[in-house]
Chain A
Amino acid sequence: MRPGAKRRKGYLASRSVQAAFLIVLVALWYLATSRWHVSPILLPSPVAVLFQLWDIVSTGEFVGDLAVTLRELAAAFGIAVTGGILVGYLVSRSHYRIRVFEPLFAGIYAIPIILFLPLYVLFFGLGPASKIALGATISFFPIALNTIAGFGYVDKAFVAAARSMGASDYQLFRYVLLPAALPVILTGMRIGFTVALLSIIGSETIASLAGLGHRIVHLAEGMEMARMFAYIAFVVAIAAVLNAFVSTLEARARRAR
């Protein structure tokens, strides 16, 4: 068998196991609600959830909340990328600054920043501003840390080679430092995106006026379990699409350097 065909077979096999796992999960869910008398208040039937999901999508009810969440995400991620790359680059330019700031950022990144949500709400209110600020803070650290790692540890041989051939500061940055650092920075951006999405939806469920997280908690409080599950499924689908999109962008940028 050719190696390509072999790899393809392995891919198909692992994909079918993944699909089977999900099917079994949904089947168990169905059985629990139809045969094993689990209360619909705790676990609504998958059929009911599917109907609700259809209703949410066909009426377009989701548009308002989705727009709020996506706007918060875009603003938070934009701030985190700009700030993280700028600060990361400046830190990476001196060994002293790397020694000071890298452990500091890593330490802050390790604490659950979401604990400060009440403080953010006090400062920025219940609206989108507090979600943007929190998302940007949480997403800043992986981006800044990876930018430091990317620019700070470029192989000295590359720099010496470029300098010996007469590279200017700009050329050194454009043709050596940036392409050397880019894969690491892109990984930081992907992680930053994921944690921004997590923290924004998470904080919407805790204290907010609108957004997908807010909608889910609102439905839970109204005991509309089937519709709440439908929204959760909807958010999972959106998150999967966004993450796939970001991964594709990352792979494309890697090739283009």
Chain B
Amino acid sequence: MTTNEVAIRVVGVSHRFGEETDIRHVRALRDTSLDIVHGELICLIGPSGCGKSTLLNIMGGLLRPTAGRVEVFGKSVRGPMPRDIAFVFQENALFPWNTVAENVDLGMLFQGVPRAERGTRARRALEAIGLHDFADHYPGQLSGGMRQRAALARALSLETGILLMDEPFGALDEQTRMILGEDLSLLLARANKTIVFVTHSLGEATFLADRVAVFSARPGSIKQLIAVDEPHPRKPEFVTSAKFATIRNALYGLLHDEIRKTMAESAAPGPEPRA
């Protein structure tokens, strides 16, 4: 498989919440196009409400765009594609009434994996993420970081080519977030997955991404794409390097104006869409 093969192609996607005639309608996304290459990790970053999560949900088939289209591995996206795409959500998307092992098993059951295969695949995913000792714990018995590891294990067990992650570490403290980021980078180097990662954190985007897509304020579209030329797995030292600082600062410069614009606009009435 060539590395330049396009995994996800986004063509002219726009999205509006509510009917155009409704005064409360919100334009979340405006004429966005993007090609995501097989095996890369791309971060979507932008001010609140710029439509980056909306774009992620459209890519994953959870939301139909008002205009434009998305292709995954050459197929047009019309709904969820559990064989090709797995999600990791911000938090609390694990079923609290099931143990970690049951959560992982259930994902594969939904996906249609035969029972005989599910056990080995679940064990492999839990071991890859260092959670095998907690397989029989309920999500409520785990820390936030552990819960997100479990959610990641559930997504990995589905063995999809694409992983869509919606601020998966957003609710975690900075230290836990850093460790999980390092683990994810290591995993990426091994698994050759295509990952789209929505985040608010400049540092997280710089540390994880092969490319960062910076969004403009609502209605969002991609303002600029920044490449981070550093091989995976990335070492903790990368964070203190000059290259890291340069890229992070460039992102900060691009984002700063957009965030100002968003804040000025948020004084105006109107419903808050999903970030």
Asked whether B85 lies within 8 Å of A164 as measured between CB atoms, the reply is: yes
Q: Which stretch from B30-38, B86-94, B190-198 is at the chain A interface? A: B86-94
Asked whether B106 lies within 8 Å of A175 as measured between CB atoms, the reply is: yes
A257 in contact (CB, < 8 A)? yes
Q: Which stretch from A14-22, A49-57, A107-115, A153-161 is at the chain B interface? A: A153-161
Asked whether B93 lies within 8 Å of A160 as measured between CB atoms, the reply is: yes
B244 in contact (CB, < 8 A)? no
Asked whether B87 lies within 8 Å of A166 as measured between CB atoms, the reply is: no
Asked whether A155 lies within 8 Å of B110 as measured between CB atoms, the reply is: no
Of A155, A163, A171, A180, which one neighbours B62 at CB under 8 angstroms?
Answer: A163
Which residues of the other chain, B, contact A160 by a CB distance below 8 angstroms? 57, 62, 87, 89, 93
B60 in contact (CB, < 8 A)? yes
Majority DSSP secondary structure for residues of A touching B: helix
Which residues of the other chain, A, contact B109 by a CB distance below 8 angstroms? 171, 175
Majority DSSP secondary structure for residues of B touching A: loop
Query: What is the CB-to-nearest-CB distance from B107 to chain A, in angstroms, rounded to a whole number?
Result: 5
A125 in contact (CB, < 8 A)? no
Asked whether A165 lies within 8 Å of B97 as measured between CB atoms, the reply is: no
Of A161, A179, A180, which one neighbours B93 at CB under 8 angstroms?
Answer: A161
Would A161 and B89 be within 8 Å (CB), given that A166-B111, A180-B97 are in contact? yes
Asked whether A165 lies within 8 Å of B93 as measured between CB atoms, the reply is: no
Asked whether A164 lies within 8 Å of B92 as measured between CB atoms, the reply is: no
Provide the bound-state CA to CA distance between A162 and B154, in Å: 11
Of A163, A164, A171, A257, which one neighbours B97 at CB under 8 angstroms?
Answer: A257
Of B92, B98, B110, which one neighbours A165 at CB under 8 angstroms?
Answer: B110
Which residue of chain B lies nearest to A182 when distances are taken between CB atoms in the complex? B97
A-B contact count (CB 8 A): 55
Which residues of the other chain, B, contact A180 by a CB distance below 8 angstroms? 95, 97
A167 in contact (CB, < 8 A)? yes
Asked whether A171 lies within 8 Å of B110 as measured between CB atoms, the reply is: yes
Of A163, A165, A176, which one neighbours B158 at CB under 8 angstroms?
Answer: A165
Q: Counting chain B CB atoms within 10 Å of each CB, which of A155, A162, A164 scores highest?
A: A164
Provide the bound-state CA to CA distance between A179 and B92, in Å: 15
The total of chain A residues at the interface (CB under 8 A) is 18
B82 in contact (CB, < 8 A)? yes
Which residue of chain B lies nearest to A176 when distances are taken between CB atoms in the complex? B95
Contact residues of B between 89 and 121, Cβ < 8 Å to A: 89, 92-93, 95, 97-98, 106-107, 109-112
Asked whether A157 lies within 8 Å of B95 as measured between CB atoms, the reply is: no
Query: What is the CB-to-nearest-CB distance from A256 to chain B, in angstroms, rounded to a whole number?
Result: 10
Query: What is the CB-to-nearest-CB distance from B81 to chain A, in angstroms, rounded to a whole number?
Result: 8
Which residues of the other chain, B, contact A163 by a CB distance below 8 angstroms? 62, 80
Of A155, A167, A171, A176, which one neighbours B92 at CB under 8 angstroms?
Answer: A155
Q: Mark A140-178, 1 if CB is under 8 A from B, else 0.
A: 000000000000000101101111111110010001100
Asked whether A165 lies within 8 Å of B62 as measured between CB atoms, the reply is: no
Asked whether B92 lies within 8 Å of A162 as measured between CB atoms, the reply is: no
Which residues of the other chain, A, contact B95 by a CB distance below 8 angstroms? 158, 175-176, 179-180
Provide the bound-state CA to CA distance between A164 and B58, in Å: 11
Q: Mark A237-257, 1 if CB is under 8 A from B, else 0.
A: 000000000000000000001
Which residues of the other chain, B, contact A155 by a CB distance below 8 angstroms? 92
Which residue of chain B lies nearest to A160 when distances are taken between CB atoms in the complex? B62
Provide the bound-state CA to CA distance between A166 and B86, in Å: 10
Query: What is the CB-to-nearest-CB distance from B150 to chain A, in angstroms, rounded to a whole number?
Result: 12
Q: Mark B30-62, 1 if CB is under 8 A from A, else 0.
A: 000000000000000000000000000100111
User: What are 18 sample pairs from A and B whose C-beta atoms fall under 8 A apart?
Assistant: A155-B92, A160-B89, A161-B87, A163-B80, A164-B60, A164-B61, A164-B62, A165-B82, A165-B86, A165-B110, A166-B82, A166-B110, A167-B110, A168-B110, A175-B95, A175-B110, A179-B97, A257-B97
Given pairs A164-B82, A165-B107, A175-B106, 11 additional interface contacts (CB within 8 A)? A158-B93, A160-B87, A163-B62, A164-B80, A164-B86, A165-B82, A165-B106, A165-B110, A165-B158, A171-B110, A180-B97
Chain A residues within CB distance 8 Å of chain B: 155, 157-158, 160-168, 171, 175-176, 179-180, 257
